[in-house]
A and B are shown apart, each in its own frame.
Chain A
Amino acid sequence: MTYAPWWGQFELQPGMMSNWEIGPLRLCMMREEKQWRLGWTTQGDPLSEARNLQQGLPAADMPEDLKQVRFGAGTSDNHFEIRLALGDRPFVAKPEMPLRILPGESVTLFVTTPVVVGIRLHDMKFPDMEIPVIRASDTWFGRDNTEGELCYASRTWAYMDIEQFAFWPHRAITAVIIRNRASTSLPLERIKLPIPNLSLYVDGDGRLRTSGLLLKRDDENDRAHARLLEGGVGDGDWTHVAGPRLKLKNRWLEAFSEIF
């Protein structure tokens, strides 16, 4: 099944509004004579599969339960852009149950993370604001409570089969290939994904996907060697949606909680 993207360039004439219901996000954009008015809430069901976009509605009062912001723009044209991006911190995911990868073996896990919606008015670089579709819970990933990194916790399990995920329009799927080249098995209870370093794509079915991640573990290092697989993992026609927030500088990652 093919889905039309809910992001990209849009146009609104004065006195008109557009309305998005994407997962837990409800977003209203209204064009008035001398300003844009944006309203949003992310209080919906985090695992909702809602994917509704209504354009060209007559402007009505903004629902009171929405947070609102206005952009003064009397002279700009009537175009604006909805941009997607991945989260600004790494995500930590857990397998459905503790997993041990045997020596010499390789597994592929799939993890989903919520995207961030950016609103950009067509002819201005600023204002440009970002709305996380879900405020993910914070978590800590480190050797102890004094040394490590603040991350987000993925709300969904890491599965071995991509079909175990619902068709969420607001979550991007990351394929993680883990190769255990060490002489001992690799216990996998938590895995940290460098989400800000990944690019965002949409596959032929309309699912949001990210760059793939190849993590190799060996006997010599207590970190995993990471390689990004741009264009994704697997077959299919993927379209680029957004680049990474940050470049991956260090390819040796503390990715597995058990082998610090």
Chain B
Amino acid sequence: MEATDTLGQVTQALNMMNVLRAGAVLLVGIVLIRLTMTLIRRLGRNNLPRQQYTLLTRFIFYALVVLLLISILHELGFNMSVLLGAAGILTVAVGFASQTSASNVISGLFLIGERPFSVGDVIRVADISGEVLSVDLLSVKLRTFDNLYVRVPNETLIKSNITNMSRFPIRRFDLLLGVAYKEDLGRVQRALEEAVAQNPVCLVDPKPQMIFQGFADSSLNIQFSVWSARENFLEMRNTIPQQIRDRFAADGIEIPYPRRTLTGSDSETPLRVEVVQPVARDMQDNPPD
């Protein structure tokens, strides 16, 4: 009986020692984690892209926290091999249950490695366009131009075509327009070039370019391509049409409306259409004798 009491007291004393040791590990661990994170933040903030910096700091932080927890459990006397075995089974179970999340995490790692865009870029994914607010492990957050917050899962991004509108400093605007068949295309080109030459946001080089697109039903279709700095793209896009319209009006260049020529089935001659004075309704109903 005495031996049992003594064993109990020893076990209790050992348990108390374990708790004290675990507490010490916890305190030292917290201090070490804070120091490590401060060091990593100082080193990484100016030397890494923002999204890689964010991901790295989060990864290291969680890894250190897990390591600390394992150390504390070990100090409390838990058998880590049993615990890790149980954790393995749990991981498989959780893995099956969270395939989508795992897929997003893997996709996120690929996105961060490939870097098709960075925080602050303007991108278009499917039919969504917006500024990238953050690139996280599970998703990318966008702010659309109408100020909506959109979360796009990383898996979707990996599978989709992404257009990065901020990658290059200059952009091209393709204006499609038609001119009447009677117009001289050389004269049209000169008018177009002179119209945009007055617009300071249109780049002088690369030069504006006119590309003939084809003979359409009612017009000669052309594409007029003009470049601008990325930040002036919207201004260019909104000012050029008016300048070209004004210039065409001044030079008498016609932008035609759609036209149809009606002919009879047995004749190449167009049907003659004549506009006559409208006949009053009472005259139609009661024609004079």
Contact = CB atoms under 8 A, between A and B. Distances in A.
B204 A138 contact: yes
A203 B209 CA distance: 42
Nearest to B197: A137
B214 interface: no
B206 interface: yes
Interface stretch (A96-104, A119-127, A145-153): A145-153
A140 B227 contact: yes
Interface string B189-233: 000000001011111111000000000000000000001110010
B183 to A, nearest CB: 27
Interface residues of B, number: 17
A150 B201 contact: no
B205 A146 contact: no
B200 A140 contact: no
Nearest to A148: B169
B168 interface: yes
Given A135-B200, A136-B200, A141 B170 contact: no
Contact of B170 (A92, A136, A150, A153): A150
A140 B167 CA distance: 16
Contacts of A150: 169-170, 229
Nearest to A150: B229
A139 B200 contact: no
Q: Binding site of A, secondary structure by majority: helix, strand, loop or mixed?
A: strand
Contacts of B200: 135-138
A145 B228 CA distance: 11
Contacts of B227: 140, 145
A145 B229 CA distance: 11
B206 A145 contact: yes
A190 B232 CA distance: 23
Interface string B82-120: 000000000000000000000000000000000000000
Nearest to A154: B204
B202 A138 contact: yes
Nearest to B171: A145
A146 B205 CA distance: 13
Contacts of B206: 140, 145
A136 B203 CA distance: 10
A140 B201 CA distance: 11
Contacts of B168: 145-146
A141 B170 CA distance: 11
A140 B170 contact: yes
A190 B205 contact: yes
A117 B243 CA distance: 28
Contact of A139 (B199, B204, B232): B204
Interface string A168-196: 00000000000000000000001000000
B199 to A, nearest CB: 8
Contacts of A138: 200-204, 228-229, 232
A260 to B, nearest CB: 13
Contacts of A145: 168, 170, 206, 227
Contacts of A140: 169-170, 203, 205-206, 227
A199 B160 CA distance: 51
B169 A139 contact: no
A31 B203 CA distance: 40
Interface string A104-143: 0000000000000000000000000000000111111100
Contact of B204 (A135, A146, A148, A153): A153
Interface in B226-281: 227-229, 232
Nearest to B199: A137
Given A135-B200, A138-B200, A145-B168, A92 B229 contact: no
B205 A92 contact: yes
Contacts of B232: 138
A2 to B, nearest CB: 34
A10 B227 CA distance: 42
7 contacts: A137-B204, A138-B201, A138-B203, A140-B170, A140-B206, A150-B170, A153-B204
- The 3 A-B residue pairs with the shortest CB-CB distance, nearest first, are A139-B204, A153-B204, A137-B200
Interface of A: 92, 135-141, 145-146, 148, 150, 153, 190
Given A138-B202, A138-B204, 10 more contacts: A92-B205, A137-B197, A138-B228, A138-B229, A140-B169, A141-B205, A145-B170, A145-B227, A146-B168, A150-B169
